[in-house]
A and B are shown apart, each in its own frame.
Chain A
Amino acid sequence: MRKLLLSMLLSMGFGQALYADMEDDPLTTMFLMDRFEVLNNAENIRVWEGSFWIGYDIDKLYLYSEGEATTDELESSQNELVYSRAIAAFWDAQIGLAYDKNTDASKTWAEVAISGLAPYYFESRAALLVNGDGNVGLRLDTEYEALFTQKLILTPSLEADFYTKDDAKLSIGSGLSNIEAGLRLRYEIRREFAPYIGVTWEKTFGNTRDYNPVDETNFLLGLRFWF
């Protein structure tokens, strides 16, 4: 893994020379905890969804992580490490690895994704995954920011996951596996720091529902922060 990281960094041209004493494209990083929230349900599930990137205008290395935990244990998480390259004005192509984990099992996937800003300002991402069992997954994500004021921002979001095979251990079934819709209203005390309230609706379908029947609506309280 370290080797992979290193070669990725090198191929991205880290350490390029300065030009004319002005650097238009300095090495930049960003850590964003987009969702860090607690649900108002029986177990008071904690949810996080965040990302970190390091890189330049065109080439970046992204780390994504999202998951759920109860008060005493980690329930499940999805993690990705991808090399990301700008291929169009608003779009990045990504390639890398994904790692899913729950209390019983874990699985590594190879992944390609496309991520960016769609017309009408929909921040969107589509990831295609394949693992050693030959299971192919498609994970779709989109969200929109509606400004009520310059600081009060409503974010509707929609996620849907699909798979070609059943995987009982990971509780995923073939076909449409789950849908999650969210509505979060945040107040940016500073751009970097925003508490929010929200509501999510999550439902599992098909075989996934047999492994893990979910159909619930939860209110939530959270914090969004970045640096």
Chain B
Amino acid sequence: MDGVPGITFDGIDPGETFTYTFKVRQHGTYWYHSHSGFQEQTGVYGAIVIKPKRKEPFRFDRDYVVLLSDWSDEKPNTIYKKLKQMSDYYNFSQRTVGTFIDEVKKKGLSTAFNDRKMWNQMRMNDGDISDVTGYTYTYLMNGENPTTQFKALFRKGQKIRLRFVNAAAMTFFDVRIPGLKMTVVAADGNHVKPVSVDEFRIGVAETYDVIVQPRSNKAYALFAQSIERSGYALGSLTPDGHTLAKAPSMDSVPKLTMVDMGMDMSSMGHGGGMKCSSGMKMPNKKAMKKYKFKAMEDQKYPITKLPMKRGLHTTMMAMSPKYRLDDPGVGLRNNGRKVLTYADLKNRYSTRKHRKPDREIVLHLTGNMERYMWSINGIKYADAKPLQFHYGERLRITFINDTMMNHPMHLHGMWSDLETGDDNRLVRKHTVIVQPGSKISYRVTVDAKGAWAYHCHLLYHMAGMFRKVVVT
């Protein structure tokens, strides 16, 4: 059972009671939310923790859910309307004349102008990180704002399990606990090989379980800054319940690069120049490091062609989309901290016996930021035919992100076994971030008959960047 009104059931009317009955076949950290209208933005969500039957393969003394969200006093319909009227309404980190003057000082006028050329011709904004920001949002941790703070008690030396859930409508969070290493033990409810990090990015709908071990009797900040750095959620790991941690300062506002546009930076060094849709040459840049994920590129399965439209729904095309699994993403690159990437995620258990895919489909994430329209393959949900999956098949799905924004893609009903570089350790997830201008692949065992939703989990992208999946 899965509740998307119009796809899997009729919805729950006001005053009506609806009982979900389902067999629990998994354990771990999950969450639930309304899938109607924009109710999710108004707080209709919560965490679900499913206890395991057997002891888990790691030890911890305390266990807390840390649910992140974004609250606005504006009605969700108002936010959506404003985005339709003026898509950069909430973006207060745009380029200014000063930005350009600084660049001229640094690189000289002609280089500075040329570096801007492609962006200007394509009418793309390198500060276009989030559609909705701290201008209207207060970022919450378990419902507490950064002043009231969520508090998690600990005694020094104890191992604390923190179950992070991103229940936000539109916000990616970059999470860290200054002074503590976090050992990531589960992603989207499923165990992964423990990996120690300083920081991780959590997309809307993702969950991460981490274990930390505070060694001193002081408060530690649970710090979750929004990806565009317009605000943060804050809580404290506190030894006594009233000593609170101070927030570290936020990182600087991230800027998108040519990499996020899906340009092949490795071919730049040869003076070759790249073509973009406006037919212009790219400036030379230092060649990037060797391409690590060639093996994934070389996997070939029969591809089922899907309808594709290049038109007014798309303003950009990733010319050379690459697997960027080891890329921490815009705003987290080279920040001096060990940031979790998908390349670090390995299934705790072997997936060697998993079937090879029978076929592959390629889905392009597309949009027109200027008109605030989102779609898949240039076709919005309202105009699209359902995707046909065959019961019992093993499917490889490859996403190519033809936009400048991260999209957390969520498939209902079936798991997404993410390729992170080792086919024997496919990571079992339900939501996968597709970075701007990049490519990513996962495998799906089609083991659930019926109709399912498949969509970007950013609330105001969802209605367009959505497909109905029919399993027969």
Contacts and interface: CB of A to CB of B under 8 A. Distances in A.
Interface of A: 19-26, 28, 30, 57-58, 86-90, 117, 119-121, 146-150, 154, 191, 226
B463 A89 contact: no
B356 interface: no
A126 to B, nearest CB: 18
B81 A90 contact: no
B218 to A, nearest CB: 37
B370 A21 contact: no
B371 A57 contact: yes
Closest A-B pairs by Cβ, 9 of them: A24-B463, A20-B6, A22-B463, A21-B5, A24-B464, A147-B96, A150-B92, A119-B121, A120-B120
A92 to B, nearest CB: 10
Contacts, number: 94
Contacts of A119: 120-123, 278
A119 B380 CA distance: 25
Given A57-B84, A86-B371, 15 more contacts: A19-B6, A20-B381, A25-B464, A26-B84, A57-B372, A58-B312, A87-B312, A88-B311, A88-B312, A89-B311, A89-B371, A120-B121, A147-B95, A147-B96, A150-B92
B81 A28 contact: yes
Contact of B380 (A24, A30, A87): A24
A57 B89 contact: no
Interface string B80-107: 1100111001001111111000000000
A110 B373 CA distance: 31
Nearest to A18: B6
Contacts of B80: 26
Given A23-B463, A119-B121, A191-B89, A57 B95 contact: no
A191 B94 CA distance: 14
A52 to B, nearest CB: 12
A19 B385 CA distance: 13
A22 B466 contact: yes
A204 B35 CA distance: 59
A21 B368 CA distance: 22
A69 B352 CA distance: 79
Contacts of B77: 26
A187 to B, nearest CB: 14
A90 B36 CA distance: 31
B121 A89 contact: no
A150 B96 CA distance: 7
Contacts of B468: 20
B370 A26 contact: no
Contact of A86 (B84, B120, B312, B463): B312
Interface in B64-90: 77, 80-81, 84-86, 89
Contacts of A20: 4-7, 381, 453, 466, 468
A204 B371 CA distance: 36
Contacts of A57: 84, 371-373
Contact of B462 (A22, A30, A90, A226): A22
A4 to B, nearest CB: 25
A89 B6 CA distance: 30
A120 B278 CA distance: 12
A54 to B, nearest CB: 12
B312 A21 contact: no
Nearest to B85: A30
Contacts of B313: 89
Given A19-B381, A20-B381, A191-B89, A121 B123 contact: yes
Contacts of B315: 89-90
B314 interface: yes
Nearest to A19: B382
Nearest to A30: B85
A226 B77 CA distance: 17
Contacts of B86: 191
